[in-house]
Amino acid sequence: MDELLDFSGKVALITGAGGGFGRLLAQGLAKRGCKLILSDINQTNLDETLASLNGQDNAIAMICDVSKEQDCKNMVDTALEKFGRVDIGVNNAGIAHEMQPLHQLSEDTMHSQFNVNVNGVLFGMKYQIEAMLKQGEGHVLNISSLAGLGGAPKGGAYSAAKHAVVGLTKTAAVEYARKGVRCNAICPFYSPTAILGELTSEEGQALLARGTPIKRLSDPQEVVNAMLLILSPGNSYMTGQTIAIDGGVTAW
């Protein structure tokens, strides 16, 4: 195996592993030797992810509501109990909201976006980084969005939350760089995962793709391939970055 993508002996935590990017990343890391702690709020989806790993012995699945701090702590505690360390933390769990203009956003929508998309990332980072500091190294990868780098018409609460993820990522990178802990984020454009809802239809995807120079949406595996490259043990000098995976949207 190419040493740049050899995760043998590494221990990774992935939230939102019941589908989409989380499931594909679990599969990609597992076949490259990584030990896994996988979580999701949906047990059925989580069981399907675990089954897709083809008998991987070093994968543990557990329910986690990332909006609850104790659930996020339990993930890290389980990793330390079973595997003795935490090398990688991928804070992937997130939710979208019904598209609506800013003046129609409700208090409940704002609360739900920040409870899951911001607090869920913060709680994950809090305990992942604590473990990494004790061992002197580690890498956190947060899943933001292109909406975290610019405006998102009719997605204001989601955009605000994803901007907050970028802020947490950069702050952590500066705070912990000298202590061996790195923190980066990816900011994907639309990709046909469950979070898109009705926009996963062929017509919906075609409409969204018009906004990209490449004139198509990403395949989720393309995004996960970029995640694997960012997480590579050889990619040891990158920290504080928010990488747009967007088919060229930000180049315009």
Active site residues: 144, 158, 162
Work out the end-to-end distance of the chain between its first and last CA atoms, rounded to an integer number of angstroms. Answer: 38
Q: Counting every residue, how long is the chain? A: 252
Identify the burial level of 204 via C-beta atoms within 10 angstroms of its C-beta, where 0-12 means exposed, 13-18 middle and 19 or more buried.
Answer: middle
Asked if residue 59 lies in contact with residue 35, where contact means CB atoms within 8 angstroms, the answer is yes
Confirm if 86 and 72 have CB atoms less than 8 A apart: no
143: left (phi over 0), alpha (psi -120 to 50) or beta: beta
How many Å apart are CA 161 and CA 245, to the nearest integer? 18
Which H or E element spans position 185?
Answer: strand 181-188
φ, ψ of residue 241 in degrees (nearest 5): -100, 145
Picking from 231, 209, 201, 204, the residue whose alpha carbon sits closest to that of residue 92 is 231
Does an H or E element contain 38, and which? strand 35-40
Centroid of chain to Cα 235: 18
Q: Which residues are 141's β-sheet partners?
A: 90, 184
